[in-house]
């Protein structure tokens, strides 16, 4: 199956590379044409001056200008298409690289790494994380939405089912998914996105909408046109110059306000055009699921709005041109641009955050859909809210190569709601906890899971794996773990169904204290609606299964010492672990 996916992505690279090569040739010919037209223009101007404008050379010079401008526009379009194709090639090469175990070039989510909690213990963010594996979002809002979903997955069955249906539908739309990712990767958001999201206060610019400035915005340009035509007719321009200087002095009264608006909008025509392309791409795609259709409806005005904003940004940038004196002094050009931007804000600012949230959510769903497409053997799990339980067979670690990963099964909640998992070092206890946790997170995010079958109750994920000393907070490793356990108890006491995953509880204290503390914690957890898995080296805790028959069950991961050395099968078995390997490993490494 992986070979088939590699073939698909390799073929797409080939198609895009062929088109890119064609565009490179076209750009070469267009550049040559621009040079020829420029030389013709220079020759006609020279001839016109040389012949004292007695012939039609000046007319010919004027006629070639539109041809030159056409080639300039064509060059811009070809370069834009070329950048787009470069991203598509990079995207498909990236899919091949990921399949071969190499890291994705896309954002790994390091900005969203938290100090503690299940996102840390399950490696949700950062290099080689779940976010890094499935992320196919190019915009800032897309990454934020993926962070939000992975940090706080769904707890409701309907939400999960709708998310699964959307993921499944989008998984078949490879062209759409890759094109949207390519366009979002071309966004140059920087500080522009926060400014757009926060918007501006129209009240701060109310002076521009006063009766006096409304009158001047019509009166002054009208008079400016009349004076300009009169001066051209008389071939005397002193009146036009004087009128323009007075106009600039009048505009200086509102220069601070128009300057603020200009810097809020300037030099972003390309960015706004890219947003328009992204929104238009989403709106033009045919969706079936009602939720996706609803998302389209939420952004139906966005593409046209950002197209207008891109044009306005380009026009407003003319204030820095050599002709700004004429435009502003005679026609109040800057005032009209400012008022047009304020009108745009008035019409669209209430919807801007919805537009960006929707774009980000589509990117989030694209990420999950890409994960499904790249793992066709993964299945969509079945949520079940009738009983607090998890049943899975053939369950493997979703971050591992599915052809090499060892799979296990679990049934918890129906017969016992706490599994005590013992075993020697490196036998697979911690990996099994992460396997279950990651698959549960995928299940509640609307993504497929690595399993042959998977039926689950939506739960909040509570974990305690990693703890470090904190010099800033003057906390020891042991105290950090206690704080983590305290947080877990506080959460389960609220009554929300939970999955608690604990790896080697109380490892920061002596053996007896560790045993007693863990046993007491297990007894405490029995009081609440939670499913619990505890991985530990303390095999003596196994006797608790006799104290709480039907509630606590023992499972183990064993290692085997043979003539060839230490071996592991990483398979979960019933019972308490009977083997150890710490001494053997120390001997093998020459420690003892």
Concatenating the DSSP letter of every residue in 135-195 gives ----SHHHHHHHHHHHHS---SHHHHHHHHHHHHHHHT-HHHHHHHHHHHHT---TTHHHH
422 and 490 both lie in a single domain:
yes
Do residues 462 and 498 make contact, with C-beta atoms less than 8 angstroms apart?
yes
Do residues 483 and 457 make contact, with C-beta atoms less than 8 angstroms apart?
no
Domain boundary among 52, 75, 102: 102
7 and 90 both lie in a single domain:
yes
**Residue 472, pLDDT score:** 43
pLDDT band at 62 (very low <50, low <70, confident <90, very high): confident
| Average pLDDT for 117-127 | 94
Q: Determine the Cα–Cα distance for residues 145 and 112; give it in Å rounded to an integer.
A: 11
Assigned token pair, 245? 């200087």
**Residue 263, pLDDT score:** 80
**Residue 215, pLDDT score:** 87
- Give the model confidence (pLDDT) of 420-478 as tens digits: 999 877 878 999 999 999 999 999 999 999 999 999 999 999 999 865 544 444 456 77
400 and 536 both lie in a single domain:
yes
535 and 412 both lie in a single domain:
yes
283 and 391 both lie in a single domain:
no
Do residues 395 and 408 make contact, with C-beta atoms less than 8 angstroms apart?
yes
Q: Tell which residue, 368, 361, 360, has the closest CA to residue 447.
A: 368
What is the pTM for the complete model shown? 0.88
**Does the structure show a pLDDT above 70 at 29?**
yes
Do residues 332 and 217 make contact, with C-beta atoms less than 8 angstroms apart?
yes
**Residue 565, pLDDT score:** 65
Total domains, the chain: 3
549 and 417 both lie in a single domain:
yes
Does residue 125 form part of some domain? no
Does residue 132 form part of some domain? no
**Most distant pair of Cα atoms in the chain: their distance:** 113
- If you average pLDDT over every residue of the chain, what do you get? 87
Does residue 180 form part of some domain? no
- Give the model confidence (pLDDT) of 368-383 as tens digits: 999 999 999 999 999 9
526 and 409 both lie in a single domain:
yes
Does residue 187 form part of some domain? no
Which range (53-67, 88-102, 186-200, 291-305) has the least confidence?
53-67
309 and 386 both lie in a single domain:
no
Q: Tell which residue, 412, 384, 406, 421, has the closest CA to residue 573.
A: 421
CATH code of residue 483: 3.40.50.300
- Give the model confidence (pLDDT) of 3-22 as tens digits: 788 899 999 999 999 999 99
- Give the model confidence (pLDDT) of 138-188 as tens digits: 999 999 999 999 999 999 999 999 999 999 999 999 999 999 999 999 997
Q: Determine the Cα–Cα distance for residues 183 and 362; give it in Å rounded to an integer.
A: 13
**Residue 43, pLDDT score:** 83
391 and 525 both lie in a single domain:
yes
Q: In this structure, what DSSP letter does residue 379 have?
A: B
- List CB contacts of 71: < 8 A, sequence separation 6 or more: 30, 33, 34, 37
321 and 358 both lie in a single domain:
yes
Q: Tell which residue, 524, 525, 476, has the closest CA to residue 499.
A: 525
320 and 269 both lie in a single domain:
yes
Domain boundary among 351, 371, 391: 371
Domain boundary among 371, 393, 418: 371
Q: Determine the Cα–Cα distance for residues 451 and 402; give it in Å rounded to an integer.
A: 10
**Does the structure show a pLDDT above 60 at 336?**
yes
Q: In this structure, what DSSP letter does residue 468 have?
A: -
Q: In this structure, what DSSP letter does residue 385 have?
A: -
Q: How many CB atoms lie within 10 A of CB 525?
A: 22
Which structural domain, as residue segments, surrounds residue 28?
1-102
434 and 550 both lie in a single domain:
yes
């Amino acid at each position: 199956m992986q070979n088939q996916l590699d073939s698909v992505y390799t073929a797409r690279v080939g198609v895009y590379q062929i088109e890119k090569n064609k565009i490179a040739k076209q750009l070469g010919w267009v550049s040559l044409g621009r040079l020829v037209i420029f030389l013709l223009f220079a020759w006609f101007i020279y001839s016109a001056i040389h012949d004292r404008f007695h012939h039609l050379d000046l007319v010919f010079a004027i006629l070639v200008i539109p041809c030159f401008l056409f080639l300039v526009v064509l060059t811009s379009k070809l370069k834009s298409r070329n950048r787009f194709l470069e991203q598509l090639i990079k995207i498909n090469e990236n899919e091949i690289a990921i399949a071969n175990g190499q890291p994705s070039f896309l954002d790994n989510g390091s900005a969203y790494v938290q100090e503690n909690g299940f996102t840390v213990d399950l490696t949700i963010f950062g290099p080689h994380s779940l976010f890094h594996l499935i992320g196919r979002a190019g915009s800032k809002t897309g990454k934020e939405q993926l962070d939000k979903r992975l940090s706080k997955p769904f707890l409701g069955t309907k939400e999960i089912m709708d998310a699964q249906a959307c993921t499944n539908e989008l998984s078949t739309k490879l062209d759409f998914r890759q094109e949207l990712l390519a366009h979002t990767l071309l966004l140059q958001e920087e500080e522009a996105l926060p400014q757009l999201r926060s918007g501006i206060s129209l009240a701060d610019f109310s002076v521009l909408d006063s009766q006096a400035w409304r009158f001047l915005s019509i009166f002054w340009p009208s008079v400016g046109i009349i004076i300009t035509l009169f001066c051209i007719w008389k071939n005397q321009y002193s009146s036009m110059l004087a009128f323009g200087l007075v106009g600039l002095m009048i505009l200086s009264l509102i220069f601070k306000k128009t300057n603020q608006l200009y810097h809020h909008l300037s030099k972003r025509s390309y960015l706004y055009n890219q947003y328009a392309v992204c929104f238009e791409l989403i709106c033009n795609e045919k969706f079936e699921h009602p939720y996706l259709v609803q998302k389209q409806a939420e952004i139906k005005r966005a593409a046209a709005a950002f197209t207008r904003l891109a044009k306005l940004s380009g026009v407003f940038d003319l204030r820095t041109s050599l002709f700004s004196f004429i435009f502003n002094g005679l026609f109040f050009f800057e005032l009209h641009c400012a008022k047009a931007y304020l009108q745009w804000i008035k019409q669209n600012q209430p919807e801007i955050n919805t537009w960006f949230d929707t774009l980000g959510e589509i990117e989030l769903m694209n990420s999950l859909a890409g994960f499904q497409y790249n793992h066709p053997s993964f299945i969509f799990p079945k949520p079940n809210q009738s009983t607090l339980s998890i049943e899975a067979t053939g369950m493997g670690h979703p971050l591992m190569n599915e052809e090499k990963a060892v799979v296990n099964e679990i049934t918890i909640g129906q017969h016992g709601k706490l599994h005590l998992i013992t075993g020697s070092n490196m036998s697979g206890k911690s990996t099994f906890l992460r396997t279950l946790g990651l698959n549960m997170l995928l299940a509640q995010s609307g993504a497929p899971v690595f399993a042959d079958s998977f039926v689950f109750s939506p739960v909040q994920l509570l974990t305690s794996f990693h703890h470090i000393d904190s010099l800033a907070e003057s906390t020891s490793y042991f105290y950090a773990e206690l704080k983590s356990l305290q947080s877990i108890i506080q959460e389960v006491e609220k009554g929300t169904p939970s999955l608690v995953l604990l790896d080697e509880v109380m490892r920061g204290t002596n053996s007896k204290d560790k045993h007693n503390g863990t046993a007491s914690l297990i007894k405490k957890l029995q009081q609440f609606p939670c499913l619990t898995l505890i991985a530990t080296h303390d095999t003596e805790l196994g006797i608790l299964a006799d104290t709480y028959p039907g509630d606590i069950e023992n499972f183990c991961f064993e290692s085997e010492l043979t003539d060839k050395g230490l071996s592991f099968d990483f398979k979960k078995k019933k019972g308490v672990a009977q083997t150890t390997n710490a001494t053997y490993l120390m001997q093998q490494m020459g420690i003892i």
